[in-house]
């Protein structure tokens, strides 16, 4: 395992950076972050290594500038009505970062209910656009509190489609299906394994492999050498703290 080095970055700021890295090299696609930390990450990516990334105000406007979280844009680039948003989804020109109430080893996601569908213990958001998202454009996930309640052996209901179910459905499902990253408060994960199951890619500084495996409800692929998540540069930290999130909203999702 690589050394940590000296840093003043908080855990939330490592999470922001890890989310931003999901859009590295994305080109001119629409970033659709869901959650405070992913939103900060998308804006950081736009200001640094992914200048062609498209950002929206979360409703129907494409924004040209990169305002602070909670601040209205100064420059509007275009109008993005719902029908056009769906066209971007269907043609793969969007990379969404969704949340997950449950995720399994193949990346199947549940945001609909906990318990049996006929008599659920808890009603959640509903399926929403998760199936279309996962089958038509790159999808990543953000989990602010990594636990065995989220990372489960089998999800109670499939909303976002994982690698096993996409493969079972055939070429029509696998053609554009890609789950890029899973970012949590403990580390970064992907599915770059022969059987397309979840792998630990990096640990956030201060986190151990044992801590991650104990908080995961299935057997996780863990390489012999697990690096730490890349440290934010001084300029990236300045952008996060002064330009994008001066009110420190990131710390509400990932407390220090």
Residue 135 token pair: 């089958």
The confidence band for 23, taking pLDDT boundaries of 50, 70 and 90, is very high
The mean pLDDT value for 108-125 works out to: 91
| HSE-CB of 195 using CA atoms within 13 angstroms | 7
Is 94's pLDDT higher than 90? yes
DSSP for 162-190 reads -HHHHHHH-HHHHSS--EEEEEESSEEEE
Q: What is the pLDDT of residues 179-203, one digit of tens each?
A: 999 999 999 999 999 999 999 999 9
Report, as an integer, the average pLDDT of 142-159.
98
Per-residue confidence (pLDDT) for residue 86, from 0 to 100: 80
Per-residue pLDDT, 125: 87
**90 — pLDDT class (breaks 50, 70, 90):** confident
* Rounded average pLDDT over 172-180: 94
State how far the alpha carbon of 133 is from the alpha carbons of 85, 86, 88, in Å.
11, 10, 10
Asked whether the predicted pLDDT for residue 107 surpasses 90, the reply is yes
Q: What is the pLDDT of residue 7?
A: 53
Q: What is the pLDDT, as a whole number, of residue 6?
A: 43
Query: At residue 4, does pLDDT exceed 50?
Result: no
Give the dihedral of Cα atoms 225, 228, 229, 232; nearest 10 deg. -140
More confidently predicted of 79 and 218? 218
pLDDT score, position 1: 44
Query: What distance, in Å, lies between the first and last C-alpha atoms of the chain?
Result: 23
| 76-90, 138-152, 197-211, 234-248: range with lowest mean pLDDT | 76-90
- Asked whether residue 57 carries a pLDDT value surpassing 90, the answer given is no
User: Of 251, 192, 229, 227, which is closest to residue 69 (Cα–Cα)?
Assistant: 251
Residue 126 has pLDDT above 50, yes or no: yes
In this predicted structure, the answer to whether residue 36 has a pLDDT above a threshold of 50 is yes
pTM value is 0.93
Whether 171 has a pLDDT exceeding 90, the answer reads yes
DSSP 52: T
pLDDT at 28 over 90: yes
């Amino acid at each position: 395992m690589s050394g940590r080095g000296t840093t003043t970055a908080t855990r939330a700021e490592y999470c922001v950076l890890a989310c931003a890295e999901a859009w590295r090299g994305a080109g001119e696609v629409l970033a659709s972050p869901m959650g405070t930390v992913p939103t900060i990450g998308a804006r950081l990516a736009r200001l640094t290594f992914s200048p062609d990334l498209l950002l929206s105000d979360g409703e129907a406007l494409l924004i040209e500038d990169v305002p602070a979280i909670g601040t209205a844009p100064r420059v509007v680039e275009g109008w993005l009505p719902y029908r056009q948003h769906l066209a971007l989804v269907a043609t793969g020109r969007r990379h969404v970062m969704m949340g997950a109430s449950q995720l399994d080893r193949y990346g199947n996601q549940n945001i609909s209910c906990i318990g049996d569908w006929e008599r659920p213990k808890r009603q959640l958001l509903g399926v929403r656009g998760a199936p279309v998202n996962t089958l038509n454009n790159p999808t990543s996930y953000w989990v602010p509190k990594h636990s065995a309640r989220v990372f489960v052996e089998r999800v109670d209901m499939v909303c976002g489609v994982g690698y096993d179910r996409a493969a079972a459905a055939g070429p029509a499902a696998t053609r554009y299906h890609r789950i890029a990253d899973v970012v949590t408060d403990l580390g970064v994960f992907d599915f770059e394994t022969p059987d397309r199951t979840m792998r630990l890619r990096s640990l956030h500084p201060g986190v151990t492999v044992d801590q991650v495996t104990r908080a995961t409800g299935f057997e996780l692929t863990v390489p012999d050498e697990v690096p730490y998540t890349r440290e934010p540069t001084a300029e990236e930290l300045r952008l996060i703290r002064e330009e994008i999130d001066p009110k420190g909203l990131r710390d509400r999702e990932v407390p220090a």
